[in-house]
Structure 1
């Protein structure tokens, strides 16, 4: 379908697809097998200037919106969701600075993030605070001209690889989540260390680690926005970033569909390619319908967010749910179409099926997204 992309948008999409074909696909099986962080590929992505998409022009970036980000992520995910997740997590980590950071903070950190010489990560989740962000225990106490942070963040993408981390911590625990603030922590800050690298089912080309803060001291000016507004900034960040996860799902679904169709045209049974059998045709048709429907919803939502940034929670959650549920089904069906071959690591759909599962979990489980959608509907029909 023609989505009427501008020349610049088509360039972003073409550049990301070229990176997928030339840099990501040849390495994805090896990275998955070795559980190896794709740092070299991220540097290639930086050379192609895609890291600049997230950053406003006045700080050295492209100044793209949600839609431009979605276009890049979809194509990178066609190559490998693990690599694309690392790229997406960088955007998630720097968005709070873009949304609420001071001019001085933006001038200091955003240019390096735009050129990809510095990477970011986002520290929200804790052992006792996943879907329930109000359960965070990490604290930040002002001591003279420094904030002292104590706590642990869990399942952090780019943990140990990024140079800057946006961390949500309680500055007024008596107020609960309304007493939370956001901070910028740098790799190498005193009292800031990492846990072991997690051994995951999928997205193994990305790095996931704990962030450990034990009397971690950072300068007073590393507060992002105003004290006590951290959770508001986090919610604004997630509303903008959830279509990115949906875009990963669209790219993954398209890749799985491509593999299944090519295989079905080549695989002969009963003296015919299996694509000639109606049972297989119907599976492929349903897969194609679901991928294109998800793409339309994600693109439409991203454009809506860029045009109406204050009205996006429901749409953001809807595209995240629909697209990631689609990816899980389409990758599973791709394995089914390919039969025993699909189950073997020699073929990429086995990896795609493993990668798909996390999309329904991270950045807010699909069950939580349905809660958000239901709550918004309740407000609309009040």
Structure 2
């Protein structure tokens, strides 16, 4: 039982129903929030109105963002790497929610362009760290003719009697070298400005591309973009326009085997790990997007008059606001729960990350949609922030794995767990 001498107003933190944060956690949250508000939102709005070519051009506000993000050190790889699992589980949710609240495209840009550096540092190889540990990179995985097959790395969704498509980008091991040929899709984040890539593609190790399950053999390698690499035009899209994306062409690019991070026996695990982290981060980021949409709607409801009074005085409006609120809180709860799972003794696992990514991005889209509806015609105009948030949230339902395909993969993992538990 709880007892009160008087009925108090609720005490809410920056991120809603917050439990006690430590002094250090509160300080990091406030730094991230201030950066999101003062740097990310203004730059994100500018970039959203620019053409894709203008976004990546010299002198673009994008480079001011890159400089300031580096200066503030919120995503410093060495600092994050030095954290314990418990610290990561506490700190990363605070940081990524605020960055998503600021601008999800820019938040994802900072993470996606660090993938080669992450892989280099995790290898522990000084040569790789020196070669790939700095600069702007990208994570090359998706291909034009393969769509969501990449998300089904274990080929659990392959139709009986068939096999996954060959795709457009493949590697071949030749002696002590690897030759990479073909193109990735136009959805590779950071590609137009990247100087290297963490490339994940199908590979012929000498016995063909396909394995016995109808899936493909893969390789994960660090690839510099200085020789044999060309790029297409930056992608023009409706959402997350501050995030430059584009295709890359590999013209018989030769790299030494030393640059291979994961080979035939370990490449599936490498992608599994990358997707597990990426989906987890998407959930944290788009919790911030959902919160931003809700906060704009809450403020507007107290400002806008309709029917002779502020919107907030109408019962239906209060009910709709509360529905948005509980979706934001539920999104944050599952996002934090999965982070704790992934950095706990039973994790990490892609099942948890898929659970949070699909739920949170759907919730963010629904909250953004309802918030835009509350703004009425104003919500459709670029003068107000909701139309951009709506577009950004819509893109997340496909980004880092289309939600329906991810749900199929998640369902397969639940079945695998059940069969193991019951000896089936």
CA distance in 1, matches of 2:378, 2:250: 46
Do the aligned partners of 2:140 and 2:199 also contact (CA within 8 Å) in 1?
A: yes
SS at match of 1:131: helix
2:180 to 149, 152, 158: 149
CA distance in 1, matches of 2:333, 2:114: 22
Q: CA deviation at 1:151?
A: 1.4
Q: Which residue of 2 aligns with 1:40?
A: 64
| Matched ranges for 1:132-281 at <5 A | 132-133=149-150, 135=165, 136-143=167-174, 145-154=176-185, 155-169=187-201, 170-172=203-205, 173-176=208-211, 177=215, 179-188=217-226, 190-281=227-318
Q: Matched residue pairs, number?
A: 373
RMSD (Å), alpha carbons:
2.3
Task: Describe the superposition over 1:283-325 as per-residue Cα deviations: whole angstroms up to 9, x where unpaired.
Answer: 1100010001100110111111111364422211111111000
CA distance in 1, matches of 2:37, 2:348: 36
1:312 to 349, 352, 357: 349
Of stretches 245-254 and 132-141 in structure 1, the one that deviates more from structure 2 is 132-141
1:103 to 116, 125, 147: 125
Are residues 1:11 and 2:35 paired?
A: no
Of stretches 163-172 and 349-358 in structure 1, the one that deviates more from structure 2 is 163-172
Query: Any gaps of 5 or more consecutive residues in structure 1?
Result: 113-117
| Cα distance change of structure 1 residues 229 and 175 upon mapping to structure 2, 3 Å threshold | farther
Do the aligned partners of 2:369 and 2:390 also contact (CA within 8 Å) in 1?
A: yes
More helix by share: 1
Task: Describe the superposition over 1:223-254 as per-residue Cα deviations: whole angstroms up to 9, x where unpaired.
Answer: 11344422220111111221111112111111
| Cα distance change of structure 1 residues 56 and 341 upon mapping to structure 2, 3 Å threshold | closer
Q: CA deviation at 1:53?
A: 4.8
CA distance in 2, matches of 1:55, 1:138: 34
Structure 1 length as normaliser, TM-score? 0.90
CA distance in 2, matches of 1:106, 1:191: 20
Q: Which residue of 2 aligns with 1:88?
A: 111
2:384 to 347, 355, 369: 347
Task: Describe the superposition over 1:201-222 as per-residue Cα deviations: whole angstroms up to 9, x where unpaired.
Answer: 0100010010110111223311
Structure 2 length as normaliser, TM-score? 0.82
1:51 to 69, 75, 78: 75
| Cα distance change of structure 1 residues 156 and 270 upon mapping to structure 2, 3 Å threshold | same
Q: CA deviation at 1:194?
A: 0.9
Do the aligned partners of 1:171 and 1:227 also contact (CA within 8 Å) in 2?
A: no
Task: Describe the superposition over 1:21-56 as per-residue Cα deviations: whole angstroms up to 9, x where unpaired.
Answer: 111222322210104252321221111112315766
SS at match of 1:218: strand
Do the aligned partners of 1:74 and 1:249 also contact (CA within 8 Å) in 2?
A: yes
CA distance in 1, matches of 2:264, 2:409: 26
Do the aligned partners of 2:116 and 2:222 also contact (CA within 8 Å) in 1?
A: no
Task: Describe the superposition over 1:94-135 as per-residue Cα deviations: whole angstroms up to 9, x where unpaired.
Answer: 444455x353355325653xxxxx122111100112210254
SS at match of 2:191: coil
Query: Any gaps of 5 or more consecutive residues in structure 2?
Result: 1-16, 57-61, 151-163, 420-424
CA distance in 2, matches of 1:79, 1:207: 17
